[in-house]
Chain A
Amino acid sequence: MNTVIRVENLGKKYLISHQRSERYVALRDVITEGTKKIVKRMVRPGSALSQTKEEFWALRNVDFEIKEGDRVGIIGRNGAGKTTILKLLSRITEPSEGRIVIKGRIASLLEVGTGFHPELTGRENIFLNGAILGMSKSEIKRKFDEIVDFAEVEKFLDTPVKRYSSGMYVRLAFAVASHLEPEILIVDEVLAVGDAKFQKKSLDKMEDVSREGRTVLFVSHNMPAIESLCSRGILLDEGNVILDTDVNTVVRSYLEKAMTDYKKIDLERRVDRHGSGKIRVIGFRVLNDDNNEVKFLQSGKNYCFEIRYKNNAKKILKNVEVSFDIYDEKNSRVLLFRTNFTNDNLDLDSSDGKICCKVNNLPLANGIYHFSVFIVYEELEVLDYITEIAYITVDGGDFFGTGSLGLPSHCKVLHKAEWYAE
């Protein structure tokens, strides 16, 4: 097979300024900063100038090769550098070091609907967006009906897209994008939009594309989608490639890494949280019926999700509402337990203590889940809100009490149903 992309020692450096969050500067500040520096230099010659900019490597020493027809999933945590790689490959931004050699026409889809103009009609936007994505006018004309069909917007073709519902907007945008026929297709996290039905349709379309033998680079946080679309995976972490092999191994390794990483972080010291801090979550464990800590869960068993907290208010807090939420790998909230659903608001002791959220007959299907805790006082003061306090796997179990362990993993929540035939 031919190599179509070769990346050698690729690196991308950003300058991040510590003073402000914006990426641009104002001339006014350049002038005032400049004057300050000159004054400083005159007052104290040779003194170090205050450093306001810092170099930051979003990507470093990256090497890989992509062969014709490869379907590669690029995965990694937020900020790992996935989008940066795609931006370099599609020439949106320039590398700071290294080189890339590409053979063939690349189309990159970093977002659906780039360049859509709200004042223009659906028809006009199809042409505009098509051109922006690199299609020629004749190509768009040829595929026009197909695009309209796919998006299911026939009736609204001559309506300005500002009057579209967000669902229609996304459908139209994706429809245009999915009719690209480049030799190499680069897609960033764009399937996460739209409703479930449309997501399914988009995924199917992506599968068609990959079956046609096109080279595909696909970034997503949706592990099942990555596994079904790609044959090879590249795992990125802090700007480095740490694994590049078959997709299943890479996905498993990523999920395991995510779990262990989060376990390492001491909840007490985490700063990515909200709330007044009168109550602080400082520990989390899952206990089974025998009060022993468990490392993984089984469907159908009983568990106590134990939240240890510190009471910084040093007084008894009455009527505290606690919410314990469970998310799946795609970050969708699948279960939510809240004290006020069942009139169970708690009174918290003035010293430190524990809260137990006891869940009997755990209804989660196989998969990896994570949790968040939200604690509110008197319905208005958020005491503590912290997400991703732990990752844990649900693996096996006999939820239905049939002795069979063959539980599905393509659904998230299990429940008994009664069946009739009439």
Chain B
Amino acid sequence: MNMEENNKDYLVIEAGKSEKNYFRDIWRYRELFYFLSWRDILVRYKQTVIGVAWSIIRPILTMVVFTIIFGKIANLPSENAPYAVLVFVALLPWQFFANALQESSNSLISNANMISKIYFPRIIMPVSSMIVALVDFFISFVLLAIIMIFYKFAPSWKIVFMPLFLFLAILVSAGAGLLISALNVRYRDFRYIVPFIIQFGLYVSPVGFSSDTIPGKWRLIYSINPMVGVIDGFRWSIIGKGVEFYMPGFIISIVLTIILFVVAIIYFRKTEKTFADRI
């Protein structure tokens, strides 16, 4: 009996050929995506009360320290906003990036058992693990609102553009997360790179200070770090007046983010079929 192989009902698995229906498959597995995110969120907020408290305390502590060091001791300019607000607005996307990167880059390894025992489009794993970071982001956003009320500081109307910059932050995190999670399966010591990126990145990104403190001639090179564009965007949209938008740098950030993301997807798709064999 011959099987109608061009028919949609038939699944053809062939050596070396990647699937035609990759994106349809991702759609089909969307419920698994929800459930995995749901699991991560549940576990995160269930394990300890401290876990929840931690997601509030950490950004606030960082804000306090940065405000004292950069605002009070170094006396850097604060763009018309209270220094604490300046820092916290930048901490929102930064914390999101740091958490998302941490969760997603380890997601494949820490779910090794699932990878080697069931099929699903592997990309679901690192992406769904970023959702927890997104939830943390919204908690921090509420915190920001409280801080702004405390300082009696009203956000700019440009805040409507904030989701755009959040989207950019998601792209940066997803790009880095996908790339590192895939590399992690192959070269286990990549996991040591992530804490380094996060530690180091916090100091080289304009979290504790405004990008305007960077001398003009260095500004363009400084924007090679895609998080610079994201953070500047957050400040511009939330603080508003007095914050100038440095377009060339922003364009560089966007272009590099897209390149990172595309490279990550390509590498991920190229290696994902061998994850189960190596993990």
Contact = CB atoms under 8 A, between A and B. Distances in A.
Given A110-B117, A114-B117, A133-B118, A2 B1 contact: yes
Interface residues of A, number: 46
Contact of A92 (B118, B187, B190): B118
A268 interface: no
Contact of B116 (A3, A25, A92): A92
A181 B42 CA distance: 28
Nearest to A23: B278
A6 B3 CA distance: 9
Interface stretch (A117-125, A287-295, A330-338, A392-400): A117-125
B15 A27 contact: no
A111 interface: yes
A301 interface: no
Nearest to A10: B15
A31 B16 CA distance: 28
A115 interface: yes
Contact of A120 (B34, B42, B274): B42
* B contact face: mostly helix, strand, loop, or mixed: helix
B275 to A, nearest CB: 8
B9 to A, nearest CB: 6
B276 A92 contact: yes
B3 A115 contact: no
Contacts of B47: 119
Contacts of B43: 117, 119-120
A254 B198 CA distance: 57
Given A93-B277, A95-B14, A101-B3, A27 B190 contact: yes
A307 B111 CA distance: 48
Contacts of A92: 115-119, 276
19 contacts: A24-B187, A25-B187, A26-B188, A27-B187, A99-B15, A100-B13, A101-B3, A101-B5, A104-B9, A110-B117, A119-B42, A119-B47, A120-B43, A124-B39, A124-B42, A131-B31, A132-B118, A136-B31, A137-B31
Contacts of A97: 15
A248 interface: no
A127 B34 CA distance: 11
A74 B226 CA distance: 53
B11 A102 contact: yes
Nearest to B109: A24
B12 to A, nearest CB: 5
Nearest to B119: A91
Contacts of A117: 39, 43
